[in-house]
Amino acid sequence: MIEIRNLYKRYHNHHGSDWVLKDINLTIPKGVSVGLIGANGAGKSTLLRLIAGMDSPERGEVIRHSRVSWPVGLAGGMQNNMTGRQNVKFVARVQGSSPQEVQRVIQFVEEFAEIGEAFDEPVRTYSSGMRSRISFGLSLAFDFDIYISDEATAVGDRAFKEKAKALFQSKVGEASLIMVSHSEGILKDLCSAGLYLNEGTAHWYDDIKDAIKAYHDDIDKHKAVPTVEEVKQPEPLSKVDPNLPQDIAGAEKHLQQCRVKLIEAKRSLDVAKTEKLLPLYQDQIAKDIPKRERQVAHAIQHLEALKQASSHVEM
């Protein structure tokens, strides 16, 4: 069980110091897996760090009555000059494991990570994916009462994601999860309850589906009405745009760059749909496509205006 009492958190910077979280009061029951939901910047990762004890609140307190993991997949504590095996052995010993338990943890992580001989090479030679595999396996090699996960299942290729998801599922029943993920499918599969963060406040739902619905309802409610500028179609340029390249070769290169960005935006939307990201993120990606299309149209018009101007000079 975890108790959160009168919790406030903010970060002081030159942009101001608004509260990220304010007056949070709730109890996360023992054995209940919780999905944290909210828009970007709502404070999901901040709350996870506070629960894990990696950060301190400005006011209030987090009381842990259970053994809580560090965030699953966190690679920040790995020593670059040590091998993967040495890092795993070090963490296992710090956790107070017996010699037999240390060997069990090493074997578990080595088999889970599947990075072959690289397991005995310095971590500084690892790719980000290899680091993630080691860190993920190491996080779940120990028996915690509660596992903390911040987008841990979003790393790696499709096969690794399925493997990570299966490992999480194996923990459900033995332990509970507190998880942030942009994938509704992952949250529904692994979490029973939901915690919706909105404007610094937390709203508890016994059913994760109700939390997701509340989140969607708020998004629909606050969708901005398109302005005249947004719905207006781009007007043909009657003259060269002074903000774009002023030579034909440069304008052609700019047009090609705009077309590449449009292709990338469309590809990103396909990936978002395939990975079943939250509708909010699919909407954000989809809204980028019309902007890219306008940029392409703008670049074409600018190039044509340059060519017309050039032909007039030659005459």
Which has more pLDDT, 156 or 173?
Answer: 173
The pLDDT value recorded for residue 235 is: 44
Distance, CA of 99 to CA of 104 (rounded, Å): 9
How many other C-beta atoms lie within 10 A of the C-beta of residue 163?
18
Indicate the pLDDT class of residue 16, thresholds 50, 70 and 90: low
What residues contact 237, with CB distance under 8 A and at least 6 apart? 298, 301, 302, 304, 305
Residue-wise DSSP of 229-240: HHHSPPPPPSS-
Pick the range with the lowest mean pLDDT from 12-21, 189-198, 211-220, 233-242: 233-242
Closest CA to 198 of 57, 11, 22, 25: 22
Cβ-count burial of 4 within 10 angstroms (0-12 exposed, 13-18 middle, 19+ buried)?
buried
Whether 44 shows a pLDDT value over 50: the answer reads yes
61 Ramachandran zone, left/alpha/beta (phi>0; psi -120 to 50): beta
Q: For residue range 171-195, what is the model confidence (pLDDT) as tens digits?
A: 766 788 898 887 788 888 888 999 9
Say if domain 2-218 classifies as CATH 3.90.800.10.
no
Q: For residue range 50-90, what is the model confidence (pLDDT) as tens digits?
A: 998 888 888 999 999 888 887 776 655 678 889 999 999 99
Across 144-171, average pLDDT: 73
Which has more pLDDT, 128 or 121?
Answer: 121
The pLDDT value recorded for residue 221 is: 77
Q: For residue range 225-268, what is the model confidence (pLDDT) as tens digits?
A: 455 444 444 444 446 777 788 888 888 888 888 888 888 778 77
The pLDDT value recorded for residue 25 is: 94
Indicate the domain borders of the chain: 2-218, 228-314
- Tell me what percent of the chain is helix, strand and coil, each rounded to the nearest 5: 50, 20, 30
